[in-house]
Amino acid sequence: MARTRKKQHVETSCYDLARERLAYVFDRFDHVTVAFSGGKDSTVCLQLALETARAKGRLPLDVHTFDEEAIPPETVEYMQRIVDTQPDIKFSWYCVPIQHRNACSNTEPLWWPWAPEARAKWVRELPPTAITDFPGFHRAGIAEQMPALYPPTRGTVAIVMGIRTQESLSRYHAVASKDGFRAFMTTLPDGLTKCYPIYDWATEDVWIAPSKFGWDYNRAYDVMEAAGLTRHDQRCAPPYGEQPIRRLHTYKTCWPELWAKMTDRVAGAATAARYANTELYGIGVQQEDLPAGTTWRQWTMMTLRALPLGQQQEAAFAIRVVISIHESRTKEPVPDLVPHPLTGVCWKTLYLAAKIGGNKFGRVQQKMTNAAIRERKKTGVR
């Protein structure tokens, strides 16, 4: 089993490290683009990349966004400010029907923002500079569109993304499993390279930077702060996925006019907002899930083998990531029933990966691990 590298503390600040990484990216690649969502992480990437592009004489900076339609009005206003006030940025604002997960409904598990056939239900009008089609577009996810937007004729292409390892174990493993300075980069089979220059930033770092350097930011975060959401729980993306629906009800408080349209836009949204944090939408594991005479480890393996190949590979990968991190912190085996006091891991929780899917499980397990860390600090266990 592959081992992940342990975290190391260095003297260089995360800000300076991010600048070093971006300088390398601009020197190494023919074309650099920033994947921008309007959120706090992509804001930091945008500002740092713009700073680097100016220093390297690589203006205008290419920035693209895939507008998800059901987003806070402050996010729209923020992106429009960039278009109106940043002449050093070439901003491509795509409003196309990209495939998204809808965990609010079993009968309609997917939804497409800006779908022409749903125009009567759009939550807002198209922005003035919206791009509604491009050669090679097809109804699939964002990743499937990138080869069409950045074909080989553009040369080597780097996509700068605001991905941080603090947000999930799978993201941590994606970087920690590599060695050397280039660990923040991942080259895809299509030849494009994803770059995560702020992968080691904490949420606090992301918020310190705009304050310290006077950067503009998305005022939707101010609205969520006033509504009582902690900074770790604040998200600007549409809350229709498995984990985001647990915050769906906050849209009713923060943006009531948007909320009224959102409940009609996506099937099951109104019901999910009311019950997403109850057992009706719960993803926990109950004792009755386990057949008599079977351990949780055995049942996890049996459940894995019953999955379709693609889901099986994703879930198995998530389990390997968590076990690898567990083994980096203790030599004791993974317990079957009770979470380990140092890592928060046991086979009963690992079963979640087979039950709900590896990608969703990563975020759930991260919360379990964080809870174990908090309890360890509270009790003084080392």
Q: What's 99's domain CATH number? A: 3.40.50.620
In this prediction, residue 349 carries a pLDDT of 80
- In SS3 terms, 311-330 reads as HHHHHHHHHHHHHHHHHHHC
- Report d(CA 284, CA 361) in Å as an integer: 11
Residues 85, 173 within the same domain: yes
Residues 254, 305 within the same domain: no
Give the angle subtended at the CA of 56 by the CAs of 53 and 62, to the nearest 5°: 30
Residues 109, 223 within the same domain: no
Whether 72 shows a pLDDT value over 90: the answer reads yes
Q: How confident is the model at residue 379 (pLDDT cuts 50, 70, 90)?
A: very low
Whether 372 shows a pLDDT value over 80: the answer reads no
Residues 230, 93 within the same domain: no
- Within a domain: 112: yes
Q: Which two tokens stand for residue 285?
A: 């594991």
Domain span at residue 135 reads 14-204
Among 78, 65, 67, 77, CA closest to 113: 67
Residues 43, 74 within the same domain: yes
What are the CA-CA distances from residue 67 to residues 126, 143, 193, 345 (Å)?
Answer: 10, 14, 22, 37
Residues 165, 226 within the same domain: no
Q: How far is CA 138 from the centre of its chain?
A: 22
Residues 264, 146 within the same domain: no
- Within a domain: 281: no
* Mean pLDDT calculated for residue range 329-338: 88
* Mean pLDDT calculated for residue range 219-229: 88
In this prediction, residue 330 carries a pLDDT of 87
Picking from 148, 176, 204, the residue at the C-terminal end of a domain is 204
Whether 273 shows a pLDDT value over 70: the answer reads no
What are the CA-CA distances from residue 230 to residues 41, 315, 366 (Å)?
Answer: 16, 30, 17
Whether 65 shows a pLDDT value over 80: the answer reads yes
Its pTM stands at 0.71
- Within a domain: 1: no
Contact 201, 210 (CB under 8 A): no
Picking from 169, 204, 239, the residue at the C-terminal end of a domain is 204
Picking from 204, 228, 261, the residue at the C-terminal end of a domain is 204
Residues 90, 158 within the same domain: yes
* Mean pLDDT calculated for residue range 41-58: 97
- Within a domain: 140: yes
> Picking from 98-107, 125-134, 198-207, which range would have the lowest pLDDT averaged per residue?
98-107
Tell me the torsion sign for CA atoms 101, 363, 282, 352.
positive
- Report d(CA 101, CA 112) in Å as an integer: 9
- Within a domain: 4: no
Residues 166, 304 within the same domain: no
Residues 163, 237 within the same domain: no
How many structural domains comprise the chain? Answer: 3
Residues 296, 355 within the same domain: yes
> Picking from 34-43, 82-91, 326-335, which range would have the lowest pLDDT averaged per residue?
326-335
Whether 377 shows a pLDDT value over 60: the answer reads no
- Within a domain: 296: yes
- Within a domain: 8: no
Q: How confident is the model at residue 250 (pLDDT cuts 50, 70, 90)?
A: confident
In this prediction, residue 75 carries a pLDDT of 96
Whether 90 shows a pLDDT value over 70: the answer reads yes
Residues 54, 200 within the same domain: yes
Helix (H, G, I), strand (E, B) or coil at 90: strand
- Report d(CA 310, CA 313) in Å as an integer: 5
